């Protein structure tokens, strides 16, 4: 399968904010040697807790941040080597949908202007704005009479449709959606998930879907990457990841999701050694891992291909941790 | 939970309206329910369905301009709906306390955790700050915060989201309530932290026998934690019943549609999800019939002309749907 986005051994560090009068704190690695590829017309889910590096990774993918090392290649162009007009042009290929459609749409702009904004930002001349915007709205299931109205006149689900129409404006090959359904009501979540899947089929779009809703991830995604402390600890085809979970952190995450079937009781598998974090050489999950052994503290495990296409960063992966 | 014990709280036919531009809009219509000691009552529904107002109106925490039009809230022999504000303040935060969604915004950023934790004790138990401190330390320990003595002198920004929510729970427990109303208490938290907080609440409930009214849109949490479920739609309780019945055999078409629209671990990812088309009616829309009729897949003539009353569908179970009317034939 051709690849639309390639993330090659990308690392991003930030300096932790010190006090008001200090010159700066320690370095903090937000994304730590991440390699991922997004195949055309597929959906890659990225899951993990807050602080796991999901949002920093998103910024690197969109070229908002530059990596300290490694490369992000979108549609064959390496983002970190571009700047100015070239970067703006390349960025048209990757658009974003945010979590909260209440704060991500400018309340003072009409829907038509919101939807056309990415084209204008790219410096494109739009011959017939109304027609272009109406076509985009139709794609996402909204009527053209929405064009001259303002965001506050719409429900959360409709606003998220507007946000998706805006993301489609530049005809991107991929859309990065950061928790696009988690602020919506359940009955609306299903509508938006169906819409994302329909657009994927109709337009051949690829998605990166950042979410903590694992049932939605399983439903929408072809592949899933699980992040923990800036690292991808497990990567597999979605069905495989849920059927044959290998990494203890992924298992912890799955055990924490309350199952909507009362018969399936979930029990949290967790341990904390209270050390305040893993040592610099240790596996990133070793301080919370219920199965941590001596070996886990000495050396950070490399990727192991536990099964075809199923990568795990755990010493037990090969042994078949299940 | 059974009917053997007396209810801790009984809401009877409660209606609330809010004056918008001078005209009253009915936001809660004839809501009735009971909470029993030790029970976890889940309140579910879409945003704007009245689920938050349905719970918070119990202690008359209402949005600006809203007032109770009719109905009563019986708690320990008193009608909270009619109690003078002065006396109600003695109940709020003491016998009935609240935990809100955003632990980031519900704590005062410029006051120490100790001061905020001591406040309910000073207000309701008449303690001084120094008298309250030992109790505060115990409360923090109770909700699993280590090094409690030093933590009391710290400010909210020194605490993570999960830790702040633990502080909020400690505050709610300060005066030994018999009912805690929690409005989306874990929505802003990571799933693993959510599970820890819910485990903590379960443990505290077992220990003290308090009842919990849990407002949530997460049906997974309802399935795992609740004893009893109220389903709100358009300001009404359209279905109520024990949690196991709600999941196994929901009586109201809205409940069924809600459960069907959830992606399940067993779903085939290729198939489109079942959705509920359309939107709930706005509050000022006064439909002659059932408020769910315009979206209901099981609608028939009568639904559009008359609003269904509640029909009993079993022990502590009821549904506001004409299909539940005795003698109904499809």
**pLDDT tens sequence across A195-220:** 999 999 999 999 999 998 888 999 99
- pLDDT category of residue A252 using cuts at 50, 70 and 90: very high
Residue A128 is assigned to a structural domain of this protein:
yes
Q: In the prediction, which pLDDT does A322 show?
A: 42
Q: Kindly determine whether residue A260 and residue B244, on different chains, have CB atoms separated by under 8 Å.
A: no
Contacts of B193 in chain A (CB under 8 A): 49
Contacts by A281-286, CB closer than 8 A, 24 or more apart = A283/A313, A283/A314, A283/A315, A284/A32, A284/A228, A284/A229, A284/A230, A284/A231, A284/A233, A285/A228, A285/A229, A285/A233, A285/A247, A285/A248, A285/A249, A285/A314
Contacts of A226 in chain B (CB under 8 A): none
Q: In the prediction, which pLDDT does A23 show?
A: 60
Contacts of A220 in chain B (CB under 8 A): 269
Q: Tell me the range of A174-183, A272-281, A289-298, B279-288 where mean pLDDT is highest.
A: A174-183
- For residues A84 and A179, state if they share a domain: yes
Whole-angstrom CA distances from A250 to A184, A237, B72 are 25, 14, 48
- For residues B113 and B247, state if they share a domain: no
- For residues B89 and B122, state if they share a domain: no
Residue where a domain terminates, one of A223, A243, A263: A243
User: For chain B, what is the domain count?
Assistant: 2
Is the CB of residue B282 less than 8 Å away from at least one CB of chain A? Answer: no
- For residues B205 and B166, state if they share a domain: no
- For residues B112 and B254, state if they share a domain: no
B104, B226, B238, B262: best to mutate for the A interface, most A CBs within 10 A: B262
Mean pLDDT of all residues in A1-13: 94
Contacts by A148-151, CB closer than 8 A, 24 or more apart = A148/A110, A148/A111, A148/A112, A149/A110, A149/A111, A150/A107, A150/A108, A150/A109, A150/A110, A150/A111, A151/A101, A151/A102, A151/A105, A151/A106, A151/A107, A151/A109, A151/A111, A151/A114
- pLDDT category of residue A20 using cuts at 50, 70 and 90: low
Q: What are the tens digits of pLDDT across the range A42-52? A: 999 999 988 89
Contacts of B259 in chain A (CB under 8 A): 260
Residue A98 is assigned to a structural domain of this protein:
no
- For residues B224 and B260, state if they share a domain: yes
Contact B175, B136 (CB under 8 A): no
B263, B271, B294: best to mutate for the A interface, most A CBs within 10 A: B263
Nearest by CB: B220 against A157, A260, A268: A260
| For residue B264, pLDDT beyond 80 | no
Residue B232's DSSP bridge partners are B237
Contacts of A193 in chain B (CB under 8 A): 263, 273
Residue B311 is assigned to a structural domain of this protein:
no
Contacts of A155 in chain B (CB under 8 A): 279
Q: Kindly determine whether residue A265 and residue B224, on different chains, have CB atoms separated by under 8 Å.
A: yes
- For residues A61 and A180, state if they share a domain: yes
Contacts of A285 in chain B (CB under 8 A): none
Nearest by CB: A218 against B191, B258, B269: B269
Is the CB of residue B46 less than 8 Å away from at least one CB of chain A? Answer: yes
- For residues A29 and A116, state if they share a domain: no
Residue B297 is assigned to a structural domain of this protein:
no
Nearest by CB: A260 against B191, B196, B262: B262
Nearest by CB: A268 against B195, B218, B244: B195
- For residues B41 and B125, state if they share a domain: no
Q: Kindly determine whether residue A212 and residue B190, on different chains, have CB atoms separated by under 8 Å.
A: yes
C-alpha triplet B22, B25, B31: angle, nearest 5°: 145
Residue A162's DSSP bridge partners are none
A–B: how many Cβ contacts below 8 A?
107
- pLDDT category of residue B263 using cuts at 50, 70 and 90: confident
**Complex ipTM more than 0.90, yes or no:** no
Q: In the prediction, which pLDDT does A194 show?
A: 94
Contacts of A223 in chain B (CB under 8 A): none
Mean pLDDT of all residues in A270-280: 74
Mean pLDDT of all residues in B172-185: 93
| For residue B5, pLDDT beyond 70 | yes
- For residues A142 and A178, state if they share a domain: no
| For residue B44, pLDDT beyond 90 | yes
Q: Kindly determine whether residue B192 and residue A270, on different chains, have CB atoms separated by under 8 Å.
A: yes
Q: What are the tens digits of pLDDT across the range A280-302? A: 889 999 988 888 888 898 888 98
| For residue B236, pLDDT beyond 90 | yes
Mean pLDDT, chain B, whole residue set? 90
Residue where a domain terminates, one of B261, B279, B297: B279
Burial of A66 (0-12, 13-18, 19+ CB in 10 A): middle
Query: Three-state DSSP class for A51?
Result: coil
Nearest by CB: B191 against A187, A238, A256: A256
Q: In the prediction, which pLDDT does B1 show?
A: 46
Residue A181 is assigned to a structural domain of this protein:
yes
> Domain limits at B254?
9-95+178-279
What is the nearest CA distance from B224 to chain A, expressed in angstroms?
6
Q: Kindly determine whether residue B261 and residue A187, on different chains, have CB atoms separated by under 8 Å.
A: yes
- Cα Rg, chain A, nearest whole Å: 21
The CATH number for B186's domain is 3.40.50.300
- Cα Rg, chain B, nearest whole Å: 21
| For residue B2, pLDDT beyond 80 | no
Q: Kindly determine whether residue B273 and residue A216, on different chains, have CB atoms separated by under 8 Å.
A: no
Two structure tokens written together for B240:
């109520």
Mean pLDDT of all residues in B186-200: 86
Residue where a domain terminates, one of B154, B174, B194: B174
Mean pLDDT, chain A, whole residue set? 89
Of residues B258 and A85, the one with the higher pLDDT is B258
Q: In the prediction, which pLDDT does B46 show?
A: 87
- For residues A187 and A292, state if they share a domain: no
Nearest by CB: A260 against B161, B219, B244: B219
Two structure tokens written together for A100:
């909260």
- For residues A66 and A195, state if they share a domain: yes
Largest CA distance in chain A: 66
Distance in angstroms between the alpha carbons of the first and the last residue of chain A: 30
Share of chain A above pLDDT 70, in %: 95
Residue where a domain terminates, one of A155, A171, A187: A171
The CATH number for A177's domain is 3.40.50.300
Residue B83 is assigned to a structural domain of this protein:
yes
- For residues B223 and B156, state if they share a domain: no
Contacts of A215 in chain B (CB under 8 A): 262-265
- For residues B220 and B151, state if they share a domain: no
Contacts of B257 in chain A (CB under 8 A): 187
User: For chain A, what is the domain count?
Assistant: 3
Share of chain B above pLDDT 70, in %: 96
Whole-angstrom CA distances from B159 to A104, B108, B113, B148, B277 are 28, 13, 10, 12, 42
The rounded distance, in Å, linking the Cα atoms of A266 and A250 is 14
Two structure tokens written together for B318:
């009821």
Burial of A98 (0-12, 13-18, 19+ CB in 10 A): middle
Q: Strands A3-15 and A69-74: what pairing?
A: antiparallel
With tokens 């592949």, the residue in question is A223
- pLDDT category of residue A67 using cuts at 50, 70 and 90: very high
Q: In the prediction, which pLDDT does A321 show?
A: 44
Residues 78-107 of B with CB under 8 A from A: none
The rounded distance, in Å, linking the Cα atoms of A153 and A295 is 58
- For residues A189 and A145, state if they share a domain: no
- For residues A183 and A223, state if they share a domain: yes
Of residues A117 and B103, the one with the higher pLDDT is A117
- For residues B186 and B163, state if they share a domain: no
- For residues B134 and B234, state if they share a domain: no
| For residue A176, pLDDT beyond 50 | yes
Q: In the prediction, which pLDDT does A18 show?
A: 62
**How many helices and strands (H and E) does chain B possess?**
11, 12
- The whole model's pTM is what? 0.87
- For residues A75 and A121, state if they share a domain: no
The rounded distance, in Å, linking the Cα atoms of A55 and A14 is 13
What is the nearest CA distance from B191 to chain A, expressed in angstroms?
6
What is the nearest CA distance from B247 to chain A, expressed in angstroms?
7
Buried b (16+ CB within 10 A) or exposed e, B204-240: bbeeeebbbbbbbbbbbbbbbbbbbbbbbbbbbbbbb
Q: What are the tens digits of pLDDT across the range B127-167? A: 999 999 999 999 999 898 889 999 999 999 998 888 898 99
- For residues B160 and B182, state if they share a domain: no
Mean pLDDT of all residues in A152-173: 94
- For residues A120 and A55, state if they share a domain: no
- For residues A225 and A271, state if they share a domain: no
Mean pLDDT of all residues in A162-180: 96
Q: In the prediction, which pLDDT does A24 show?
A: 62
Interacting residues of A110 by C-beta distance below 8 A, sequence separation 6+:
A147, A148, A149, A150
- For residues A144 and A164, state if they share a domain: yes
Residue A195 is assigned to a structural domain of this protein:
yes
Contacts of B194 in chain A (CB under 8 A): 256, 258
Residue B26's DSSP bridge partners are B17
The rounded distance, in Å, linking the Cα atoms of B78 and B184 is 28
> Domain limits at A211?
1-93+173-243
Residue B170 is assigned to a structural domain of this protein:
yes
Q: In the prediction, which pLDDT does B152 show?
A: 95
| For residue B4, pLDDT beyond 70 | no
Q: What are phi and psi of B215, to 5 degrees?
A: -90, 120
- pLDDT category of residue B254 using cuts at 50, 70 and 90: very high
Residue where a domain terminates, one of B279, B304, B319: B279
User: Which chain B residue's Cα is nearest to A193?
Assistant: B273
- For residues B74 and B186, state if they share a domain: yes
Two structure tokens written together for B68:
């109770």
Residue B186 is assigned to a structural domain of this protein:
yes
């Amino acid at each position: 399968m051709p690849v639309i986005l390639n993330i090659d051994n990308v690392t991003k560090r930030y300096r932790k904010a010190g006090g008001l009068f200090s010159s700066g704190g320690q370095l903090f690695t937000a994304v730590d040697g991440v390699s991922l590829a997004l195949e055309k017309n597929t959906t890659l889910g990225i899951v993990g807790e807050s602080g796991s590096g999901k949002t920093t990774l998103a910024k690197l993918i969109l070229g908002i941040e530059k990596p300290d090392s490694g490369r992000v290649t979108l549609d064959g162009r390496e983002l970190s080597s571009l700047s100015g007009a070239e970067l703006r042009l390349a960025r048209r290929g990757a658009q974003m949908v945010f979590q909260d459609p209440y704060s991500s749409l400018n309340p003072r702009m009409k829907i038509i202007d919101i939807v056309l904004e990415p084209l204008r930002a790219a410096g494109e001349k739009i011959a017939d704005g109304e027609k272009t915007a109406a076509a985009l709205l139709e794609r996402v299931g909204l009527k053209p009479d929405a064009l001259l109205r303002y965001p506050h006149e719409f429900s959360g689900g409709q606003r998220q449709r507007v946000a998706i129409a805006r993301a489609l404006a530049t005809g991107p090959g991929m859309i990065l959606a950061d928790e696009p359904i988690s602020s919506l009501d359940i009955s609306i979540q299903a509508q938006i998930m169906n819409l994302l899947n329909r657009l994927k089929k109709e337009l051949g779009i690829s998605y990166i879907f950042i979410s903590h809703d694992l049932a939605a991830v399983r439903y929408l995604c072809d592949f899933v990457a699980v992040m923990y402390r800036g690292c991808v600890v497990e990567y597999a085809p979605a069905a495989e990841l849920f059927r044959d979970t290998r990494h203890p952190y992924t298992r912890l995450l799955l055990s924490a999701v309350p199952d909507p079937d009362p018969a399936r009781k979930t029990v949290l598998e967790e341990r904390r050694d209270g050390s305040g974090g893993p040592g610099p050489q240790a596996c990133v999950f070793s301080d919370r891992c219920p199965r941590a052994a001596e070996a886990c503290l000495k050396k950070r495990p490399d990727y192991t291909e536990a099964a075809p296409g199923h990568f795990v960063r755990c010493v037990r992966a090969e042994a078949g941790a299940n | 939970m059974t009917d053997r014990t007396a209810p801790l709280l009984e809401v009877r036919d409660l209606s609330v309206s809010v004056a918008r531009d001078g005209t009253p809009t009915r936001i809660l219509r004839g809501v009735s329910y009971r909470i029993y000691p030790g029970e976890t009552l889940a309140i579910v529904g879409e945003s704007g369905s009245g689920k938050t107002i349905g719970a918070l109106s119990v202690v008359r925490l209402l949005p600006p301009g809203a007032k109770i039009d009719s109905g009563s809230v019986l708690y320990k022999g008193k009608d909270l709906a009619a109690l003078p504000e002065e006396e109600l303040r003695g109940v709020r935060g003491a016998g009935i306390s609240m935990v809100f969604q955003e632990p980031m915004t519900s704590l005062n950023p410029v006051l120490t955790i100790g001061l905020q934790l001591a406040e309910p004790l000073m207000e309701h138990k008449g303690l001084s700050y120094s008298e309250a401190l030992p109790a505060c330390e115990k409360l923090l320990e109770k909700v699993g915060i280590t090094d409690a003595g030093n933590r009391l002198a710290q400010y909210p920004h020194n605490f993570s989201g999960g830790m702040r929510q633990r502080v909020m729970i400690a505050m709610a427990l300060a005066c030994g309530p018999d009912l805690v109303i929690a409005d989306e208490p874990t929505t802003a938290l990571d799933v693993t932290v959510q599970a820890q907080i819910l485990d903590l609440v379960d443990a505290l409930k077992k220990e003290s026998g308090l009842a919990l009214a849990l407002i949530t849109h997460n049906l997974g949490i309802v399935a795992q934690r609740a004893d009893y479920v109220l389903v709100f739609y358009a300001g009404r309780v359209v279905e109520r019943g024990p949690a196991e019945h709600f999941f196994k055999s929901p009586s109201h078409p809205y409940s069924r549609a809600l459960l069907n629209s959830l992606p399940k671990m067993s779903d085939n990812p290729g198939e489109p999800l079942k959705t509920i088309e359309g939107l709930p009616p706005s509050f000022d829309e006064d439909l002659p019939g059932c408020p769910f009729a315009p979206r209901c897949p099981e609608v028939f003539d009568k639904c559009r002309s008359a609003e269904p009353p509640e029909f009993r569908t079993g022990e502590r179970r009821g549904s506001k749907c004409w299909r539940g009317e005795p003698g109904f034939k499809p």
